[in-house]
Amino acid sequence: MTEAVGEPPTPVSPAADRPPAVAWDWSAALLGLAFAVPAALVARHDVGKGAAFAVGVIPPAVVGLRPLRKGRMASAVLGVLVAVPILAGSILANVPVVAVVGVFLAGIGAALLAQRSRLGSIALALGLPMIGIGLSYTDVATAAGLAIVMLGGAVYAAAVSLLWPESDPLPPPPHAPPVPTLAYGVLLGATGATAAAIGFALDLDHVGWACAAALLVIRPSAEMQEIRSAGRIASVAIGALLAIGIVRLEPAAGWYGAAIVVVVATVAATRGSRWYITSAFTTFLVFVLLLAGNAAEAASRFDERLSETLLGVGLAGFFGLVIPKLADLDTLQPAPSRPAAK
């Protein structure tokens, strides 16, 4: 659910400056292992809650350590940017028309916020898709419980990060990155709203899956969106199949805990990868949450997840790639006069 954490909406860098397709950092893997310990322990008693807690530590794992400890508790803010939008989406989902309009306006608002601050860029990349996730939960109490567990995971991860040694801060980039235009915000809102409207009209079990998929892959850079679109489809299929394979074995709860540790550690270790692989791990956790003890639903859940992912990616392609090309729209503009993010 939280694949886009911390990723600013900027174009892909030149080939010479690109990171490896799949990166690996052993120090980050160790940090991810520490993040995952409570989730693994919870999973021994309640697999679903353990998986939810693990999802909560994914955003800090993807962002990684800030060099100085004084900035590391900011990782807890990522938990807020997950929990609050999920709850907001759940509230909106009880009135479909309001939900569709709300997602449209949220897309425009997120793009405008991204023009003003780094936090706005994170809200666009993370908070907005989480509203889509929340549309799957019409029971606000269930959404609130999920949000609290995920927020707890993020706060725990922020606290653990304080134990890691400090390092020299990286020099700030010479220029702030370009920012999304208002036109992009309109396209973004239209993408999410259309996905939500289709989900409500078809009475899908998880209205938010297509909406979140669309909002997670659409980007103002066409090249970045194409990479994320292909990566999203492949990663969702792989993550779901791996989870189904484990669930059908009906292992003891301790094995679920071990799998959670491996997943979170791998997410952290591969955070620098160019390929969009994080969604394989988040999909794995979501499927474990849904299917532990309900292996009979595996095939239907897989078909549902993959078809709604394809729907979301298709809508993102129409609004994010086709319309800008036909209308000759610029979806990025030079950075406003503000200091570069440090």
The pLDDT of 201-220, averaged and rounded, is 95
Taking 60 as the threshold, does the pLDDT of residue 239 lie above it? yes
Residues contacting 71, CB < 8 A, separation 6+: none
- d(C-alpha 115, C-alpha 266), whole Å: 32
Taking 50 as the threshold, does the pLDDT of residue 218 lie above it? yes
H helix or E strand, kind and range, residue 69: none
The pLDDT of 110-132, averaged and rounded, is 92
Taking 90 as the threshold, does the pLDDT of residue 154 lie above it? no
Model confidence pLDDT, tens digit, residues 89-120? 999 999 999 999 999 999 999 999 999 888 88
Type of residue at 164: W
Question: Six-digit token pair at 150?
Answer: 């995920």
Coil, strand or helix at 218: coil
Which of 269, 268, 281, 195 lies closest to 234, judged by CA?
281
- d(C-alpha 197, C-alpha 207), whole Å: 9
The whole model's pTM is what? 0.88
Whole-number pLDDT of residue 13: 45
Burial 302-321 (b: 16+ CB within 10 A, else e): bebbbebbbbbbebbbbbbb
Give the dihedral of Cα atoms 193, 198, 203, 208; nearest 10 deg: -40
pLDDT range class, residue 72, cuts 50, 70, 90: confident
Type of residue at 170: L
Which of 331, 333, 287, 124 lies closest to 215, judged by CA?
124
Model confidence pLDDT, tens digit, residues 278-334? 999 999 999 999 998 889 999 999 999 999 999 999 999 999 999 999 999 989 887
Residues contacting 245, CB < 8 A, separation 6+: none
Which of 14, 4, 61, 1 lies closest to 262, judged by CA?
61
pLDDT range class, residue 212, cuts 50, 70, 90: very high
Whole-number pLDDT of residue 337: 52
Coil, strand or helix at 57: helix
